[in-house]
Amino acid sequence: MSAAKGRLLVIDGTDGSGKQTQTALLTARLQALGHPVKQLTFPTYSESSALIELYLSGQLGALGEVSPYAASTFYAVDRYASYRRDWGRDYEAGALVLTDRYVTANFIHQMSRLPRDRWEDYIAWLEELEYDRFGLPRPDAVFYLDLSPEASQRLLDHRYQGDPAKRDLHERDTAYLAACRETAQFAADRLGWHRIPCDRDGIIDPPEIIAARLEALARPYFPASEGEQKEGQARLKEQRI
C-alpha cells in the first residue's frame, strides 16, 4: 500500500445514530473554517452496491443465513470501487476526506453476527482484507456516535412513522441492533475510536450539542489553517538560519 498522503476521518455508529446528520454538520464546520473537504457515505448504493442491496432486501436469505464474512466482502468491494472511481486520487493528492461509515461499519454490523470468541480473528481478517490486500487507507481518526438502542429505536420509529415494513433487514431486528452496540463498544476500545456519547436515559441530545462534542475531539485532526501554516513555515526558516 502506498504511503497515506491525505487525511481520512470517519464517523460511524449503529443504525440511526445520527451519522449523516453529524457528517453534514462537521463538513459545514470544516468548510466554514476554510478547509475543503470531500464528503463520502457508505454504502454507495451505486452499481458496486448491488450485492449489498440483495443482502439488505433479504433476497440472500434471513440475516442468520448469510455468512458475515460474505456480507463483509460485499461492503469491502463497494468501498474499493468507490476508492478507485471517486476519491482515491484526491486522497493520495492530500485531500481531507470525511466519511459516514467505512471499514469500521463491518466491525459494528458484521462482527456482531459472530460469537465473541471470533471477534479478534475477524478484526485481523478484515483489516488484512480491506487495508492490506485491497490497499484502502486506514483512517486517521474514527468518531463513534454512541447511542443507546432505546434512543436508536425511537429515532427509527420517528423516521418511518411507525411503519416497520419500511425498515431494512438490519433495522427490523432489535436484538441485532443491541448486538451491534456491543461490538461497536468492543471495537471502539480495541481499535482506539473516539467515543461520543449521544443520549441520556434513552433521549438523544440535540444535534448541535453532539456536533460540539465531535468537533472538540476532531479538532486535532483538522488541517492547519493558513495562519498556522505560515507560522510553521516561518519557524522552519528560523531554524535553518
Ligand X SMILES: Nc1ncnc2c1ncn2[C@@H]1O[C@H](COP(=O)(O)OP(=O)(O)OP(=O)(O)O)[C@@H](O)[C@H]1O
For ligand X, the binding residues (CB under 6 A) are 13, 15-21, 155, 159, 204-207, 210
- Site residues (CB under 5 A) for Mg ion, limited to 191-220: none
The least distance separating Mg ion from the CB of residue 92, rounded to whole angstroms, comes to: 26
Distances (CA, A) of 165 to 83, 118, 122: 33, 32, 32
45 interacts with Mg ion by CB under 5 A: no
Distances (CA, A) of 223 to 129, 139, 193: 29, 15, 19
Among 5, 20, 57, 94, binds Mg ion (CB under 5 A): 20
181, interface contact from Mg ion, ligand X, none, CB < 5-8 Å by kind: none
Nearest to 25 by CA among 196, 197, 212, 217: 212
155, interface contact from Mg ion, ligand X, none, CB < 5-8 Å by kind: ligand X
**194: helix, strand or coil:** strand
Scan for cell 438502542, then name that residue.
149
118, interface contact from Mg ion, ligand X, none, CB < 5-8 Å by kind: none
31 interacts with Mg ion by CB under 5 A: no
Residue 164: exposure state from Cβ atoms within 10 A (0-12, 13-18, ≥19): exposed
The least distance separating Mg ion from the CB of residue 105, rounded to whole angstroms, comes to: 10
Interface with Mg ion (CB under 5 A): 19-20
